[in-house]
Amino acid sequence: MTPEQFVAGLPKAELHMHIEGSIEPDLFLRLARRNGVAVRWQTEDELRAAYRFTDLQDFLDLYYDGCRVLVKAQDFHDVTRDYLRRAHADHVLHAELFLGPQGHTTRGVPLAAVMEGVLGAMADARAEDAVTSGLIVLAQRHRTEEEALAMLDALRPWHGQLLGFGLGGAEVGNPPAKFAEFFRRCRALGFKVVAHAGEEGPAAYVRDSVDVLEVHRIDHGNACIDDPSLVAELAKRRIPLTMCPLSNLKLQVIPAVAAHPLKRLLDAGLCVTVNSDDPSFFGGYVNDNYLACQQALGLSREHLAQLARNSFEAAFIPEAQRDDALARIDDWLARSRPHHPKEHE
């Protein structure tokens, strides 16, 4: 069995994927035409050529501009369903999706259109492909905490259908402590909480996400490698990192996948997971990220299986679902090993 075959059949969860970042160029252009939205690109090749970024902010500028093609509930349904269909093909059993409603409601898109489209597609994926999923709503950190709290209140009709809340967007100049009250209120309501930290921000942002925001998971977390005591604490407390290697490469957070801290952190005992972040922009879905790490970091099948196990350990799912997924990983690993039948005497 080749590494490609092993990864293709490896049961996994994906925990760090932005719905708006999974709009493939063909769908993007179709949505633009459908909604009469003028865009700068006429062909898929032109759009793909624009996916060259110098840093996170450069990417976010294009990302937010691209969100303009999402207008109606059907648009949000289509992009979400397309991603979950692709995830199913990559043997993703469970996905936890990020959504940033503020980028849509500030354009005048009704919140109900956003939520009904996304949640409807998630229900369809479960019924049609048996892919379970959960929705994590992100506050954009370049906006104010008051705006985040207003979003939390506006989402009240859907609270029972949400998995949790998080923090995304440009880290520079937007420390985690800026949203301490928002996270306190989310936790008080019983939601899981996560935060992007340590992608472009320092290790201190990871620490503050843990100590001030009291998150259940860190999204990215690369910079923690700069603080050995923080690494030890994350390992001891089993606070997961949802790492995105090809995203980091595309945004020049790392010069090459071989320089990614994923394996060093895995070896240090952290609950590291592999994810795609914004796959259409960064040229790789979850299996592409697994394979890039396998090739550049010399990961064995046991390493890959551990990353998949970590994805279910870190997922916000019932224990029975977790146990079933872990058993399926062990079975796949056993099936992948070469058999050496005893020779007849």
Q: Which two tokens stand for residue 234?
A: 């994350």
Contacts from 155-158 at CB under 8 Å and sequence distance 24+? 155/101, 155/111, 155/115, 158/115, 158/119
Distance (Å, rounded) from C-alpha 248 to C-alpha 40?
26
Q: Which helix (H) or strand (E) holds 193?
A: strand 192-197
Q: Which two tokens stand for residue 101?
A: 């409603």
User: Which position among 147, 199, 200, 345 bears the catalytic label?
Assistant: 199
Distances, alpha carbon 102 to alpha carbons 32, 121, 142, 308, in Å: 20, 20, 11, 32
Question: Does residue 233 carry a catalytic annotation?
Answer: no
Distance (Å, rounded) from C-alpha 274 to C-alpha 276?
7
CB 96 within 8 A of CB 84: no
- Would you give the DSSP letter of residue 339? P
For the chain, the farthest-separated pair of C-alpha atoms sits apart, in whole angstroms, at: 78
Distance (Å, rounded) from C-alpha 56 to C-alpha 247?
10
Q: Which helix (H) or strand (E) holds 285?
A: none
CB 16 within 8 A of CB 244: yes
Q: Which helix (H) or strand (E) holds 272?
A: strand 272-274
Beta-carbon contacts of residue 208 (< 8 Å; ≥ 6 apart): 175, 176, 177, 197
Distance (Å, rounded) from C-alpha 27 to C-alpha 33?
10
Q: Which two tokens stand for residue 21?
A: 């970042």
The closest of 162, 139, 280, 284 to 219, measured between CA atoms, is 139
Other residues' Cβ atoms within 10 Å of the Cβ of residue 245: 28
- Would you give the DSSP letter of residue 260? -
List the catalytic residues. 199
